[in-house]
């Protein structure tokens, strides 16, 4: 799914209105998260993608991740982030089978429930990737820097930020 599909208008050059907008996120970068996760955990064959299906961004990010599935040989499962109980039930059920990983897409609901999501991923030993740099300060394993897109580099060459708590840091946002 291209970014233009969620924009009201016929094209970015001629949006058909007085106001154009900017996205804080280019959906294509989401596909790189799958590559990154596969490099972090090469044995991984299944990926749970936490997303908000009510947002165009949630749909777009999931579609971008789906477009990278054939190259990574991973099976995707979508988990909605609207309710913390729903998240816990779905992630726990997903983690019952081996070789799983977790991608959290960018959304307000994922941010609201980040502590629970990070706690679950840690407790269930799921390798995980998050969209923003503040997740590691809350205890996540790793996050993908949003600024790497467009370079075409391998996931192993992407900048990462390790869990600060494990590295001895304690600064929390």
Q: What is the pLDDT of residues 24-74, one digit of tens each?
A: 567 888 888 888 888 888 889 999 999 998 888 888 888 889 888 876 677
Cβ(38)–Cβ(130) under 8 Å?
no
pTM of the model: 0.68
The mean of the pLDDT values for the chain is: 73
Tell me if 3 is assigned to some domain: no
Range of the domain at 140: 33-157
Tell me if 165 is assigned to some domain: no
pLDDT value of residue 26: 76
pLDDT band at 167 (very low <50, low <70, confident <90, very high): very low
Lowest mean pLDDT among 77-86, 116-125, 141-150: 141-150
Cβ(53)–Cβ(80) under 8 Å?
yes
Cα 149 to chain centroid, rounded: 14
User: Domain count of the chain?
Assistant: 1
Average pLDDT over residues 8-20: 58
User: In CATH, what number is assigned to the domain containing residue 132?
Assistant: 3.40.50.2300
Segments of the chain assigned E as strands: 46-51, 75-80, 100-104, 128-129
Kindly give, in sequence order, each residue whose CB lies less than 8 Å from that of residue 7, ignoring residues fewer than 6 positions away.
15, 21
Tell me if 57 is assigned to some domain: yes
Tell me if 121 is assigned to some domain: yes
Tell me if 68 is assigned to some domain: yes
User: Who wins on pLDDT, 127 or 167?
Assistant: 127
Lowest mean pLDDT among 92-101, 149-158, 163-172: 163-172
Tell me if 19 is assigned to some domain: no
Spatial distance between the Cα atoms of 24 and 21, rounded to a whole number of angstroms: 10
Tell me if 48 is assigned to some domain: yes
If we measure between CA atoms, which residue out of 31, 59, 34, 58 comes closest to residue 48? 34
Tell me if 172 is assigned to some domain: no
Check whether 128 has a pLDDT greater than 80. Answer: yes
């Amino acid at each position: 799914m291209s970014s233009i599909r969620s924009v009201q208008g016929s094209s970015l050059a001629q949006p058909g209105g007085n106001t154009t907008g900017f996205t804080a996120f280019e959906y294509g970068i989401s596909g790189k998260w799958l590559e990154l996760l596969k490099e972090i955990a090469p044995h991984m064959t299944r990926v749970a993608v936490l997303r908000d299906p009510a947002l165009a961004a949630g749909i777009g990010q999931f579609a971008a991740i789906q477009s990278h599935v054939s190259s990574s040989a991973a099976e995707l499962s979508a988990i909605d982030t609207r309710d913390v109980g729903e998240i816990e039930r779905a992630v726990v059920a997903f983690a019952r089978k081996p070789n799983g990983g977790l991608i959290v897409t960018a959304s307000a609901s994922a941010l609201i429930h980040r502590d629970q999501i990070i706690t679950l991923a840690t407790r269930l030993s799921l390798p995980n990737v998050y969209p923003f740099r503040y997740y590691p300060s809350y205890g996540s394993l790793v996050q993908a820097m949003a600024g790497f897109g467009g370079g075409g580099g391998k996931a192993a060459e992407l900048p990462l930020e390790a869990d600060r708590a494990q590295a001895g840091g304690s600064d929390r946002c």
